[in-house]
Homo-oligomer: A and B are copies of this chain.
Amino acid sequence: MAVGLKAPENLLPVKGIRLGITQAGIRYQDRDDLVLIELAEGTQTAAVFTRNAFCAAPVIVSRQHLLSASPSFLVINSGNANAGLGEAGMQAARETCQAVAELASCDPDQVLVFSTGVIGEPFATDKLVAALPAAQANLAEENWLHAAQAIMTTDTVAKGLSEQFELDGQTVTVTGMVKGAGMIRPDIATMLAYIGTDANVDADVLNGILSSAVNKSFNRITVDGDTSTNDACVLMASGRAGNSVISDPVSEGAELLAATIDRVCQQLAEAMLRDAEGATRLMTIVVEQGEDEDECSRVGFTIAHSPLVKTALFAGDPNWGRILAAIGRAGVDDLDIEAIEIMLDDVCIVSNGGRAESYTEEAGQRVMQQDVVTVTVRLGRGNASATVKTCDFSYDYVKINAEYRS
């Protein structure tokens, strides 16, 4: 079902980061659903989490642990989100960290915990804990692809990629994996993303690189406007590549690493969108000539969230009236509709507030029936711009979300 997306054939190992995968049977049967990640001593870890006020217990616990210790282990389960369970959920998350700590002889606050799946169902901590030794026994640097498969929920393909660059005569590897197919929108999403690198980099530079990369990637895509209770994106740097430590954010090393992490995050974000629930077509919305980036973003997201635009995209129908109507309700003050220009790829469909004179339905349809469509909106009131990416609303989106729990 994914739009022009295949699972990666191979993901490169990252020195100092080992992954162990097993079946815990928490919800899914006959498939892997548990991942343990072991970080070599000295690994720097940066993370961002959902901004939804309703955070799942693992998010609350992981945030606390990150404040008090440097992580040695990550434990991730799919099938149950451990969200909406009140004190019982907090206990499940803490017990999970405690069990990893006992197994690996570390402190519980050196363990981060992540869950994805159904909200509000009792969490089978006992099954997770019982499976931990098998995950530990499986730990290996080569296991990224296997882990990317185990964290999937409604995803149809495993998503990940690797990049390498040279620094100080050493090869630095970056490997990332992500899961997420619905509930995707800014402030990240039902998304778990893990990016590992063996770069030697200090914590401040790493945090800056992650926060900038997330804003340019995961925060620019939306499937349905819903954010999740469990979103997390973690960047782990083991320091095992042999380069001298990157501690200056404007150094060549920082820029090389940042550019690579940006590319990896953007490709992971786009992969998520291509595998979005029911997606058959993608739309990139470029809003230009706004007074500031905020109003450009608002226009972009209003178009991206319009069910009428999304169903027209599904139909391959160049229904630009729906795009214009969405722009009109985006809450931009003193918007001059007559100044607006809209392009579908290179076809001008709207100018001076109406259908462009040169426009033909055939030209519009040719573009709209592609797999990926770019809509450029020119507001004609400034120099700011913003880009938002989304997908269509199809029968399958309804089917997947109406039947998810059945």
Residues of chain A having any CB pair with chain B under 8 Å = 51-55, 81, 83-89, 118-120, 182-183, 187, 224-229, 305-308, 311-312, 314-315, 317, 319-322, 324-329, 332, 335, 337-338, 350, 352-355, 393-395, 397-399, 401-406
For the complex, what is the distance from the CA of A403 to the CA of B394, rounded to whole Å?
A: 12
- Which of A311, A325, A337 gathers most chain B CB within 10 Å? A325
Q: Which residues in B have their C-beta under 8 angstroms from that of A54?
A: 324-325, 327-329, 337, 353
- Out of B84, B88, B183, name the residue touching A308 (CB < 8 Å): B183
Q: A55-B337, A84-B324 are in contact. List 9 more A-B contacts (CB 8 A).
A: A84-B350, A224-B307, A225-B306, A227-B328, A227-B329, A229-B325, A314-B402, A315-B403, A315-B406
Taking CB atoms, residues of chain B closer than 8 Å to A88 are: 354
What residues of chain B lie closer than 8 Å to A187, measured between beta carbons?
A: 329
Most chain B beta-carbon neighbours within 10 Å: one of A54, A86, A229, A317: A54
Can you report 9 residue pairs joining A to B where beta carbons are below 8 Å apart?
A84-B350, A85-B354, A120-B355, A183-B325, A229-B321, A311-B397, A315-B402, A319-B404, A319-B405
Q: How far is the CB of A58 from chain B (nearest CB, A)?
A: 14
Distance between Cα atoms of A301 and B383 in the complex (Å):
32
B397 touches A329 (CB 8 A): no
The reply to whether A398 and B314 form a contact with Cβ atoms under 8 Å apart is yes
Q: Within the assembled complex, what's the spacing in Å between the Cα atoms of A133 and B236?
A: 76
Smallest CB separation, A307 vs chain B (Å): 4
Q: Whole-angstrom distance between the alpha carbons of A341 and B354 in the complex?
A: 48
Closest partner residue, chain B, to A334 (CB atom): B53
Among the listed B119, B183, B350, B393, which residue makes an inter-chain contact with A324, where contact means beta carbons less than 8 Å apart? B119
CA distance A105 to B319 in the complex (A): 39
Cβ-defined partner of A325 (8 Å) among B51, B227, B397: B227
Residues of B within 8 A of A322 (CB): 119, 226
Asked, given contacts A120-B354, A315-B406, A402-B315, whether A308 binds B86 with beta carbons under 8 Å apart, the answer is no
Instruction: Give the residues in chain B near A118, CB-CB below 8 Å.
Output: 321
> How far, in angstroms, from A224 to B397 measured CA to CA in the complex?
15
Contact of A305 with B52 in the complex, beta carbons under 8 Å: no
Report yes or no: A320 in contact with B53, Cβ–Cβ below 8 A: no
Per a CB cutoff under 8 Å, which of B51, B226, B328 touches A326? B226
